Chain A
Amino acid sequence: MFVELNNLLNTTPDRAEQGKLTLLCDAKTDGSFLVHHFLSFYLKANCKVCFVALIQSFSHYSIVGQKLGVSLTMARERGQLVFLEGLKSAVDVVFQAQKEPHPLQFLREANAGNLKPLFEFVREALKPVDSGEARWTYPVLLVDDLSVLLSLGMGAVAVLDFIHYCRATVCWELKASILYLMQGNMVVLVHDSGDAEDEENDILLNGLSHQSHLILRAEGLATGFCRDVHGQLRILWRRPSQPAVHRDQSFTYQYKIQDKSVSFFAKGMSPAVL
């Protein structure tokens, strides 16, 4: 996790808010550093994490995780991390006969209408295990990323339905269980196609924006690529529990990604530029 980003978001692993949906989106740049941040953040917060990773392999996240101080392999072994490796499972679901529905079952079916098997997988993964003691603080669902589901043939409304059900389960329902006394969180990544006329992606992005509590938007610089400033990050807080206490606030920072950290600074204040 990046300490400077924690400061900007005014949060630490010990006292993060619960029951929140965080939307990560990137436009003209790669926002995956945010995914790595939240993955290590919630593992350090001792949460049970279900990671639906459709873009990269497990070893990729593991290598970056080691730089940020978490070991995904160990987390998976002790049951803290449930990892769905999309790239490997996709091959399994297509080339091997499945007895019970696979989370990525929609890849086999010509007219898969919904992502119910994937939701069942998530619910099963984050269900509290009756082991007699509460080991983990609260459940977290992480998805990287949702735009690829659109490319794989799901409609925007089907993906919105999947997120709806995940929200109903992760953020609200699990609160009823005695083991998880607190609500869970969700973090999802969606790419913003920008100029390209992708209506489905726009519906997905706007629909999720309306449901999110926090939107982190990584954008490339309008003037193009720069070696010292990799992009800018817009932070928008929405839906505060008390309206008009902090009215929707939006801040913009520029950032530079280094080997093990990301440094943030106000616009135009990069040390290299001054």
Chain B
Amino acid sequence: MTPSEGARAGTGRELEMLDSLLALGGLVLLRDSVEWEGRSLLKALVKKSALCGEQVHILGCEVSEEEFREGFDSDINNRLVYHDFFRDPLNWSKTEEAFPGGPLGALRAMCKRTDPVPVTIALDSLSWLLLRLPCTTLCQVLHAVSHQDSCPGDSSSVGKVSVLGLLHEELHGPGPVGALSSLAQTEVTLGGTMGQASAHILCRRPRQRPTDQTQWFSILPDFSLDLQEGPSVESQPYSDPHIPPVDPTTHLTFNLHLSKKEREARDSLILPFQFSSEKQQALLRPRPGQATSHIFYEPDAYDDLDQEDPDDDLDI
């Protein structure tokens, strides 16, 4: 693939990833962890939905409204309908500002809409709701909200609904996570290696086999997506730029370095047990000093000079 073809394919793929996540509708589960956070991807999806002209509702429970809106330009910010459940979710200040019924009431209210406009609801975060509400109630409401467009009868008047839920995997046991996973049309599990983030995307299309793929990406400061090839096999091991390389031989009491002469002498040394060609010649050649040495032996009385029968037990 030539570089220009690769670039065109790159932008095509970039649109595909966010589009494919939003195209199916229904519940899109973003599973993140402490090391690989998912809020940036959630904001990227929110931005994409807003740019496509959809109605975007945010149920903000985990971070403040200012923090969520940070990084979006004013055009996008004006299109977001923000329901703030961060300031006083449990009504401890005893004012009536909080939405009656809390975040669950707000979700239920969205079940009853009749707009033909496609809508995207972002839950920040689903973990917050799951820790405080019974799992069955939450699953029922999510099912009702995300499947509005597939109800028989009035299906033509209600637009497509996408529910984006941010789920922190470590906080919940396998039961609730499995229940939410079975409700979801699309599941994105965030991970990565060596500073590079990846998304494992599992799509469940109706009446088709589930498809999965892994996509390496990074999110730019304006919350658009930049797809990448993934870490190459020969890339260097992740070196720590913060710590300057320390030379461990600086404060030793013994000398680890070799001078040039010592290094030459070491390189020219022949190891004693290495069978080189010189050693082979030396063994084959008779040594000149051999003829001058003799061994004088006086046999004892017990010595047996018969080489053919050393034990003297052959009765021949």
Contacts and interface: CB of A to CB of B under 8 A. Distances in A.
Nearest to B66: A172
B270 to A, nearest CB: 35
Nearest to B90: A161
**Max chain B Cβ within 10 angstroms of own Cβ: one of A209, A243, A271:** A243
Interface stretch (A81-89, A90-98, A234-242): A234-242
A249 B37 CA distance: 12
Interface string B84-97: 00111110100000
Contacts of A257: none
Contact of B89 (A164, A202, A209, A211): A164
B243 A203 contact: no
Contact of A245 (B36, B168, B170, B221): B221
B34 A209 contact: yes
Given A238-B34, A242-B221, A210 B87 contact: no
Contacts of B223: 243
B9 interface: no
B131 interface: yes
Contact of B131 (A171, A202, A207): A207
Contacts, number: 84
B175 to A, nearest CB: 13
A274 B64 contact: no
Interface residues of B, number: 37
Interface in B169-204: 170-171, 195, 197
A215 B219 CA distance: 22
B252 A274 contact: yes
B251 A274 contact: yes
B64 A168 contact: yes
Given A116-B92, A206-B171, A244 B195 contact: no
Interface string A132-176: 000000000000000000000000010011001100100111000
A244 B220 contact: yes
B90 A243 contact: no
A119 to B, nearest CB: 7
Contact of A207 (B36, B171, B197): B171
A169 to B, nearest CB: 9
A110 B97 CA distance: 31
A168 B88 contact: yes
A203 B131 contact: yes
A133 B303 CA distance: 117
Given A161-B90, A165-B92, A251-B240, A210 B131 contact: no
A247 B34 contact: no
A207 B33 CA distance: 10
Contact of B243 (A164, A245, A266): A266
- Bin the interface of chain A by size: 35 or more
Contacts of A244: 40, 218-221
Contacts of A160: 131
Nearest to B88: A168
B309 interface: no
Given A244-B219, A274-B248, A210 B92 contact: no
B219 A243 contact: yes
Given A168-B86, A173-B87, A210 B168 contact: yes
A129 interface: no
Nearest to A251: B242
A243 B246 contact: no
B285 interface: no
Nearest to A160: B131
Contacts of B220: 243-244
Given A202-B170, A251-B242, A274-B251, A211 B88 contact: no
The 10 nearest A-B residue pairs measured at CB: A206-B170, A243-B40, A209-B34, A172-B64, A242-B221, A243-B219, A210-B168, A266-B243, A206-B171, A157-B131
Interface of B: 34-37, 39-40, 62, 64, 66, 70-71, 86-90, 92, 127, 131-132, 168, 170-171, 195, 197, 218-221, 223, 240, 242-243, 246, 248, 251-252
Interface of A: 114, 116, 119, 157, 160-161, 164-165, 168, 171-173, 202-203, 206-207, 209-211, 215, 236, 238-239, 241-245, 247-251, 266, 269, 271, 274
Given A164-B89, A171-B64, A209-B34, 13 more contacts: A116-B92, A119-B92, A165-B88, A168-B86, A168-B88, A173-B87, A236-B35, A243-B40, A243-B220, A244-B220, A248-B35, A250-B35, A251-B243
